Amino acid sequence: MFPEQLNVPLGKWVNQFVDWLVINYGAAFEAFADSLLTVLVALEQVLRGAPWWLVLIAIAAITWHASRNWKLVLGLVVAMFVIGTLGLWDKAMQTLALMIVATSLSVIIGVPVGIAMAMSNRLRAIMLPILDTMQTMPSFVYLIPALMLFGLGKVPAILATVIYAAPPVIRLTDLGIRLVDPEVLEASRSFGASRKQILFGVQLPLALPNIMAGINQTTMMSISMVVIASMIGARGLGEQVLMGIQRLDVGAGMEAGIAIVLLAVVFDRIGQAYGKRSQRTSSGEDA
Amino acid sequence: MSYIEIRNIFKIFGPNPQAALELAKSGSDKEEILAKTGHTVGLDDVSLSIEQGETFVIMGLSGSGKSTLIRHLNRLIDPTAGEISFGGENILAMDIPTLNAFRRKRLGMVFQRFGLLPHRNVMDNVAYGLEIQGTDRKTREDIARKWIERVGLAGYENKFPDQLSGGMQQRVGLARALATDPEVLLMDEAFSALDPLIRSDMQEELMKLQAELHKTIVFITHDLDEALRIGDRIAILKDGKLVQVGRPEEIILNPADDYVQAFTRDVNRGKVLRAKSIMEPTTGTISGDQADTSQVVRPDTVLDDILPMALASDQAIRVLDRNDKLIGTIKRQQVITALSHSPAN
């Protein structure tokens, strides 16, 4: 037996810290939660309010813009249509809204963090274990304090999704910038480019294919998080899966599962198409 | 004082360069310092003076510190100790904005692997330096178009670097460096990655441009033939130390040590040595019967062209300057002696 005198009451300290946060900063967290919720609710209303065919047209237009490939457009429209035929259209739109907000937040946070990591080896050394933790820590562990800070519902679901889904875009932004040919950077510096000119004119454009791959992965991971998010009150397809498990309704669970997979396929293909586009350096727009 | 002055530059790579610097200053060599401190000596007490308008070649094998040295001139690398000035201005004292302004206005650089921006077409690559300076689109495209034409790439404005051959990419690199009209052109093994024929074309192109533009060119190479061909003066580096500085003929006729001699052994002397460096200087005028033009050469005539004349006649060949004034004579024996150091020629 490990001697009990050596026990560190880490759990107690964490509890005290969370209590202290709730007491002192509860209002600030609530304000943050409210603004996030406002965005989410507005987006959800638009998606659920829009006629189904309009959403299909929008998906088709985005796919065409990304890929210029009518076969892909047709395939993705059919996938979305199947979700509708499973009777899960409304729930899919809720999931979609949650996913868009969580992914956007991940990218807004992740890209600057990735840039900072690429610039500083010290920050990178600090961030890498944090990112590993974010990806391996069971999500329920941070869901509980998130619930205490934000209450039950969509906001902790978004935050849990961001914690789980942001690491790939952070890692790949860092990697993409580090992989930029050092001679190209030297050339840019030798012409007297400032750090800002180098970042926006050289590093980010050349890292873009990697950043796009990161965004794609982040999107995939945020879709996979929807089931867990439903357990703390986020609505959508995950809720349906959860219900299927609770009622031992294998069929309902399967339907929702298929819908989640189809949604993932749609977003993966769109993301990949944009990724490929950002890689084209030569044959460009006029091809 | 020369235009570019480099004084007692040391560059030590490693986490704690100051300790190793003391060793280097007290005369320890590269291996010793690496063994004792784990630090690599990049440059060891290098001093150079480069004149305005000359083509100055820095030559050395890989690891000799030549690429490190050229990067000190635009402070892509900062020295551990020493001074560098351009026209009396100490560039090491510049803060970042001043340094960037200095790089934008006065320097252009050409890289071994071209360093082109792969996401920009030829036009936008050539215009890059002007864009950094904040020149408006119309002006910079006009200037870029002129330079693209000048290096023979008219019609390729909308191509991307990966659609061009190596030689064409380096033409873009050269046009990009010249588009900002810099005073100094830094060329880091600019032609080393090119095929021999293309390389020779580019050397010619550079010399043609230089004859018109009179830039100060600092050219790095590991190829002595290239150095001799384009350099007004050549500096030879070995293990971060300067071994010899001089005009091409001086390097060949009086190599400073065995290292330089080993380099010069394979050089085609007939193409490098010129009348003025082997002639016996004389003064006087040409009398009537000597006005025969068949046995007359100019100071810059290379040995390869003098040899047939020397073989054709026993008479001494006369060297005349631009005003047809006699400045020296060359005997057959002198030509043969000058050539004889080269094997199998």
Sequence spans of domains, chain A: 22-279
Share of chain A above pLDDT 90, in %: 54
pLDDT at B68 over 80: yes
Taking contacts as CB-CB distances below 8 angstroms, the residues of chain B near A194 are 97, 100
Beta bridge partners of B50: B4
A154-178 helix and A121-136 helix, angle to the nearest 10 degrees = 140
Q: What mean pLDDT comes out for the span B139-160?
A: 93
DSSP helix/strand/coil, B56: strand
The amino acid at B182: P
Q: Which residue of B has its CA nearest to A282?
A: B160
Contact B320, B309 (CB under 8 A): no
B75 Cβ neighbours under 8 A, 6+ residues apart: B91, B92, B94, B99, B103
Q: Do B256 and B281 fall into the same domain?
A: no
Domain that holds residue B194: 53-79+91-267
Q: Any idea what the CATH number is for the domain that residue B326 is in?
A: 3.10.580.10
Q: How far apart are CA A268 and CA B86, in angstroms?
A: 55
DSSP helix/strand/coil, A40: helix
pLDDT digits (tens, 9 = 90+) for A266-287: 999 998 888 888 776 544 444 3
What is the structure's pLDDT at A285? Answer: 44
pLDDT at B84 over 90: yes
Q: Are strands B317-320 and B81-86 parallel, antiparallel or unpaired?
A: unpaired
Q: Do B253 and B279 fall into the same domain?
A: no
pLDDT at A209 over 80: yes
Establish if B14 belongs to a structural domain.
no
Q: Do A187 and B101 count as a contact with CB atoms less than 8 A apart?
A: no
Q: Which of B233, B267, B301 is the last residue of a domain?
A: B267
Number of domains in chain B: 2
The amino acid at A246: Q
Q: How far apart are CA B161 and CA B156, in angstroms?
A: 10
Q: Do A194 and B100 count as a contact with CB atoms less than 8 A apart?
A: yes
Establish if B252 belongs to a structural domain.
yes
Task: Give the burial string for B297-320 (b: 16+ CB within 10 Å, else e).
Answer: beeebbbeebbebbeeeeebbbbb
Q: Do B191 and B237 fall into the same domain?
A: yes
Residues on chain B bordering chain A, Cβ-to-Cβ distance under 8 angstroms = 71, 74, 76, 97, 99-105, 107-109, 111-119, 121, 128-129, 132-133, 158-163, 180, 186
Token pair belonging to B306: 């003098």
pLDDT at B25 over 90: no
E-assigned strand segments in A80-137: none
How much is the mean pLDDT over chain B?
A: 88
Q: Do B280 and B193 fall into the same domain?
A: no
CA A4 to chain centre: 42
Taking contacts as CB-CB distances below 8 angstroms, the residues of chain A near B97 are 194
Establish if B85 belongs to a structural domain.
no
Separation in Å, CA of A14 to nearest CA in chain B: 40
Q: Is residue B107 within a helix (H) or strand (E), and if so which, with residue range?
A: strand B107-110
Of B202, B215, B170, B197, give the one whose Cα is nearest residue B56: B215
Taking contacts as CB-CB distances below 8 angstroms, the residues of chain B near A191 are 103-104, 108-109, 128-129, 132, 180
Share of chain B above pLDDT 70, in %: 95
DSSP helix/strand/coil, B124: helix
First to last CA, chain A: 70
Q: Which of A43-52, A120-129, A133-142, B119-128 has the lowest mean pLDDT?
A: A133-142
pLDDT digits (tens, 9 = 90+) for A147-186: 877 778 888 888 888 989 999 999 999 999 999 999 999 9
Q: Do B331 and B241 fall into the same domain?
A: no
B17-25 helix and B30-37 helix, angle to the nearest 10 degrees = 140
Token pair belonging to A159: 């935050």
Q: Do B113 and B70 fall into the same domain?
A: yes
From the options 1.10.3720.10, 1.20.120.140, 3.40.1160.10, 1.20.120.1810, give the CATH code of A22-279.
Answer: 1.10.3720.10
Establish if B240 belongs to a structural domain.
yes
Q: What mean pLDDT comes out for the span A231-250?
A: 87
B244 Cβ neighbours under 8 A, 6+ residues apart: B234, B235, B236, B251, B255, B256, B257, B260
As a residue count, chain A comes to 287
Q: Which residue of A has its CA nearest to B126?
A: A191
Q: Which of B267, B289, B321 is the last residue of a domain?
A: B267
Q: Do B102 and B228 fall into the same domain?
A: yes
pLDDT band per the 50, 70, 90 thresholds, residue B341: low
pLDDT digits (tens, 9 = 90+) for A4-32: 888 888 888 888 888 888 888 888 888 88
Q: Do B144 and B239 fall into the same domain?
A: yes
Sign of the four-CA dihedral B125, B130, B132, B137:
negative
pLDDT at B342 over 50: no
Q: Do B66 and B178 fall into the same domain?
A: yes
Q: Check residues B245 and B267 and name the one with the higher pLDDT.
A: B245
pLDDT at B24 over 90: no
Q: Which of B267, B282, B317 is the last residue of a domain?
A: B267
pLDDT at A2 over 90: no
Establish if B38 belongs to a structural domain.
no
Establish if B37 belongs to a structural domain.
no
Establish if B36 belongs to a structural domain.
no
Q: Do B164 and B284 fall into the same domain?
A: no
Q: Do B129 and A191 count as a contact with CB atoms less than 8 A apart?
A: yes
Q: What mean pLDDT comes out for the span B182-194?
A: 92
Number of helical (H) and strand (E) elements in chain B, helices listed first:
16, 14
Establish if B46 belongs to a structural domain.
no
As a residue count, chain B comes to 345
Q: Do B107 and A186 count as a contact with CB atoms less than 8 A apart?
A: no
Q: Do B161 and B285 fall into the same domain?
A: no
For an interface test with A, the pick among B68, B109, B122, B132 (most A C-beta atoms closer than 10 Å) comes out as: B132
Q: Do B262 and B301 fall into the same domain?
A: no
ipTM of the complex: 0.82
